Structure 1
Amino acid sequence: MDGNTARITIAADLAAKWGIFVVNSASNSGWHPDHNTLGAPADGDSVITVGAVDGSGSRANFSSVGPTVDGRIKPDLMAMGSGVYVARSSSPTSYGYSGGTSFSCPILAGAAALILSVDPTLTPMGLLDLLRQTASQSANPDRLMGWGIINTFEVVNSLPTTVEGDEVLEDFYILRNYPNPFNPATKVQFSVPQQSDVKITLHDILGREVELLFNDKVDAGMKEFVVDAGNLSSGVYLVRMIAGTFNKTIKISLRK
């Protein structure tokens, strides 16, 4: 389970490099204190590996855990996979409750398809980064649940919106940066509906202010500025915009 040995894992990683979004179940071998219980190709570094949670958001006891042999966190994400109401194979008209990471996998795959319908330019790794950044434990990933439970709404809500020229939106907005992940610079757009004092700051994942990015009075319309992170270390950072009572934070990912 090192991501480079099993033939099916090698094939899955190649598919991802060709632009195919490969989502795979972590497997149903439960927890072990000393090693991972993953099933190939869940160990692939370009595979979106999903484990199972129950209705309360707790990890299902059968859901396999990481890390991989070479130390990477797996699973990547979690989705509903215990107590799922599904069609039964025994009858064309019967339904019942069942469980397994094979149920959480299509939920995440469907979420990925929805996100791609909003932004078809996303790459497999770009989508994985977005899903990780917005998941329930993005700040503290671990070998049991990875980056946590997916939040499709938050991903879609963070995707960039194309706004032409000086078009004025009816509310305050800060749009997701592009590109993301980035190295060393990325662009961020924001919009104000009327002349406003705008302050935008950069923070580390713990919320500590790192840099003042923008602080000025601007006229109504769409604006753009560049975040230059050449002197910062790789990681997830927070961009916070304050304009009057508007207070919004987005996550950006610096990868060097």
Structure 2
Amino acid sequence: MYHVSFILVMFLYQFSVGCMILLALMPLKEVDIQFYRLASGLSALLTAVGLFLNIYYPFELPQSFGVQRVQQGLWPQLTLGLYIGFFAISFLLYLRMRWQKAEGAKLLVRVCAIVGALALVAEGFLYRTQDLYGGFKNFVLPLHFLTAAMFLGVFVLAMIFGHWYLVKSMPKRLLARMAELLIFILAARLLVVLATFWIYSSQVSSGAAAIDQLMDLWKGHGLFFWQRMLAGLGIPAVLSYMIWKTAKLGANQSATGLLYVGVVFVIIGEMISKYIFLLSSIPI
């Protein structure tokens, strides 16, 4: 129960914040106001579920887990407060979009995205491990949480955005721009994962052995690791290129179909990533 709650709460927070970060990068004047209402409502709903689980069903990390979560002091309260603030702003944005009040909406979206990003960074600093302590290593988890959120958000919003063309008339170049943004965020996610491998291999004592065990298909957690790498990063990388090419050609329905497939693999990959983090304390 506690393990499931940990994985689910982390996933919901990153999913909701990622949607708002990507929403902040989209032009309100060229996108239908109902799209903003849907995206902000989805973020508010996911955050509300995450807050409910976090408050009423708090998770406890097992003693075998190599990372400890700070439970006392100002930092956990600040993190929770940022998530509550993110929920309040996203819900306010949803209400304004529902009432067709677009004035100041772009500023509200950006403030909400900044608050959500700060919440993820603070969440990353809540976890303490001797392997990821000191210097740049302190920022490994915050970077993982941010890029994971944006990776989830860009695929989901691009998929919904592509579907929007079936019912609304919007410039086709916007989907191609979303595809380019998708590739950029995918590259950032891959760089963070590769940087983590390098840090563990070169700057963490016995880190290379831990990576080898993680990759070992027969003795370690290799089954989950290779599912994460192939299904969660490899297949989305191939699909991203195909989505970009089809969007450039103006084949929006084909691009949207590929995005549906990509969303499934990205969600599976990020869920497995959190499970591996729980098992090995290595974020990938």
**TM-score when normalising by structure 1:** 0.27
Larger Rg over CA atoms: 1
**TM-score when normalising by structure 2:** 0.25
More helix by share: 2
Larger RCO of the pair (alpha carbons < 8 Å, separation 6+) = 2
